[in-house]
Amino acid sequence: MIRSERIPERYRIPLETGDGGDLLEFRYSHGDNEKRALVYRPAAAKNCGERKFPAVYLFHGGGDSEESFFGSPAKSPAERTPLVPMLDRMIAEGILAPCFVVTPTYYGSDPGNARVHAGDAAKLTGEFWRELNSSLIPAVDTAFPTVRDRDSRAAGGFSMGAEATWNVLAKGAETVRYYLPMSGDFWAVEVKGGATHPSETSDALIDGIKKQGLGPGDYEIFAATGTGDIAWDAMSAMVNELLGRRPWFSPSEDGGNLSWCVSEGWHAYEWCWDYIAAALPRFFPAGK
């Protein structure tokens, strides 16, 4: 188990204008729907020639939006979340390789009553991997200088977004190697089934991985939550069950594919910055 650390205060301070990456609005189509995502473009990608960069896809929680991780591009950097300055400083300090970070939404351009009940949420998260693989990733790869390879992609999410993340691994992992579920379990059996049915939930995840023809060396997970989080019971029970399922899952401390990061935090994006800061350099270290 990894003990989560709070990000340094300097990570919350924007770099001088022009020194860091920028936050862009991005439009793409999925079926008949026009969708909007936000994209962090690292400074190194602004005039990069033939160089290509990894991409990270982050999924928001229930009732939230594509702006939840970053804040609105219409606001000044000081009015947004710490995510952009944190990424800028980690890259500038040689901790993290320059990478794109994309934040989509499950909802359409006019989500209306986005606070869907748990059953509807499970349907959205259970199917979002299709949109990710068939529409969003191809659109991002076309518009930006990203590496078109699963070994250079990560998917993560908070709360409902964590459930979407587990679904990518279970159903659509041909596009993504690295996973960052934060404060949420896998709802393959039922909502919060990680707590009520940890064995069956783990079976469903492993069965999905097997059906895709993947082996334990084909994916890496950094799972994180807090002891004061409403997701603690479900996520901790599920992860502890997975850690006993060799060879499909084994602790990273032993050279395995599953890191279990625990904080003292609660169910809020404020704790996601710590998890993201710990996970991304493991996926995409500087110099990789």
Tens-digit pLDDT string for the chain (288 aa)? 999 999 999 999 999 878 899 999 999 999 888 999 999 999 999 888 889 999 999 999 998 999 999 999 999 988 999 999 999 999 999 999 999 999 999 987 554 444 455 568 888 999 999 999 999 999 999 999 999 999 999 999 999 999 999 999 999 999 999 999 999 999 999 999 999 999 999 999 999 999 999 999 999 999 999 999 999 999 999 999 999 999 999 999 999 999 999 999 999 999 999 999 999 999 999 987
Measured on CA atoms in the order 33, 153, 239, 245, is the torsion positive or negative?
positive
The CA-atom distances, in angstroms, between 244 and each of 74, 203, 238 are 47, 12, 10
**Which pLDDT value is given to residue 8?**
97
Residue 64 in domain: yes
- Do residues 52 and 145 make contact, with C-beta atoms less than 8 angstroms apart? yes
Number of structural domains (the chain) is 1
Residue 178 lies in a domain: yes
Domain-located, residue 174: yes
Q: Is 31 left (phi over 0), alpha (psi -120 to 50) or beta?
A: left
Whose structure tokens read 């939550």?
Answer: 225
Q: Strand 33-41's sheet: what is its strand order?
A: 2-3, 258-263, 220-226, 178-182, 153-158, 55-59, 100-103, 33-41, 22-30
C-alpha to C-alpha distance for 57 and 251, rounded to whole angstroms: 24
Measured CA to CA, the distance from residue 273 to residue 275 in angstroms comes to 6
Strands (E), the chain: 2-3, 22-30, 33-41, 55-59, 100-103, 153-158, 178-182, 220-226, 258-263
Residue 202 in any domain: the answer is yes
Q: What is the per-residue pLDDT for 112? A: 46
What is the pLDDT, as a whole number, of residue 113?
A: 42
- Is 102 contained in some domain? yes
Residue 288 located in a structural domain: no
Residue 140 lies in a domain: yes
Threshold 0.85, pTM exceeds: yes
The domain in which residue 64 lies consists of 2-283
CATH of the domain at 143: 3.40.50.1820
Residue 28 to residue 25: CA distance in whole angstroms: 10
